[in-house]
Amino acid sequence: MNQPVEAAAAASIKSAKRKIAWSAWLGLAGGLALVALMALLYDLLPAINAVAAMGWGLVAVVGFHFVQMIFSSAAWQASSPWPHGGGFRFFFLLRWIREGVNNLLPVAQIGGEVVVARLLSHRGQRLSEAGASVTVDLTVEMLTQIGFTLMGLGLLATLDHTSDLAKWAALGGLLAAVGAAGLLAAQRVGLMRMIERLLLGMADKISWVEFGTLDGLHDAVQHLYSRRRAFALAATHHTISWLLGGLEIMLIMHFLGHDISLREGLVIESLGQASKAVGFMIPGALAVQEGGYVLVCSAFGIGADAAIALSLVKRVREIGLGLPGLIGWQILEARQLALRRLAAAS
């Protein structure tokens, strides 16, 4: 290989990594700035005290989230037909790791997908199949979230037809739906093939053998979309998971001393998750999630203290489940490294 070409390719990758790192840290800095602004606007101590007073209620909330993870994992497994040597338990573990990475690391809420695609490839699955599996599952999850958001908007409209919140949320839902439709269309017409060629060209320049298995990413994605029954089953599981989020809101608010109806729980969760999605460039959607819950809860007469406490409970749950997920990720990576060393020694 021509050394100048190899050096230029390596420098290009190094520059790309640096830009990604800078974007992540800038997003984190922006999130922390928003947290500081929220601390100035609201007294956070009552919310913190309310969360601390929940006691075993926090454990119940963490435990309930496992039910959501079961359906999310089942959705992913349904859309991925290739053998991977782990069954549902492995998908559940990867879902756990995926959420931990996205919620706790400065990766703009998408780094978890890259991590689990790599872990799937460690199980002998072609990297193109692993990438397609994660891409399609993420797309189905996003499409069902839009449906969930639109449902929340419909429920909100039955409460207050003139609410400014409903108008702005409807506009956001429309934009999200257009964006999702555009992403789905781009995947269908060749976005994955373009990404595949770009990465393979980069791999060829720097002899990055691992990317050799990425060949066929576009075809793998199209194969998954052609499995309509599996696609529908995955969408059903994801929808159930989103609906369970409304029950989680009811559970949290009960332990915070503010009992609400299922309709209110569904509206708060659907629009709260939509606001979190809007802030995807900020790690963990810091302060964006809190601001979204404050805005949505105000439509039901729920004060800012309780809304912020609600968001903080979700943060505690994310930390409580995310840390074991990150540990599990490192254990799997350590095992793979040990296997590689053993193979090299043999």
Tens-digit pLDDT profile for residues 163-196: 566 665 666 566 666 666 665 555 555 555 555 4
CA dihedral sign of residues 88, 324, 122, 338: negative
Helices (H) and strands (E) in the chain, counts: 13, 0
Of 265, 290, 321, 273, which is closest to residue 67 (Cα–Cα)?
A: 321
Output the pLDDT for position 290.
Answer: 83
Query: Which residue's entry shows tokens 């800078």?
Result: 22
- SS3 at position 32: helix
Q: How confident is the model at residue 23 (pLDDT cuts 50, 70, 90)?
A: very low
Query: Which SS3 state, helix, strand or coil, does residue 25 take?
Result: helix
187 Cβ contact partners less than 8 Å away, ≥ 6 residues apart? 135, 139, 221, 225
**pLDDT reading at 29 higher than 60:** no
Whole-number Å distance between alpha carbons of 95 and 123: 15
Task: Record the pTM.
Answer: 0.79
* 167-181, 221-235, 285-299: segment of lowest average pLDDT: 167-181
Closest CA to 58 of 266, 316, 341, 338: 316
Cα–Cα distances (Å) from 274 to 114, 173, 220, 308, in that order, read 22, 8, 29, 16
User: What is the per-residue pLDDT for 22?
Assistant: 45
Span 304-324, pLDDT tens digits: 899 999 989 999 899 899 999
Return d(Cα 52, Cα 27) in angstroms, integer: 29
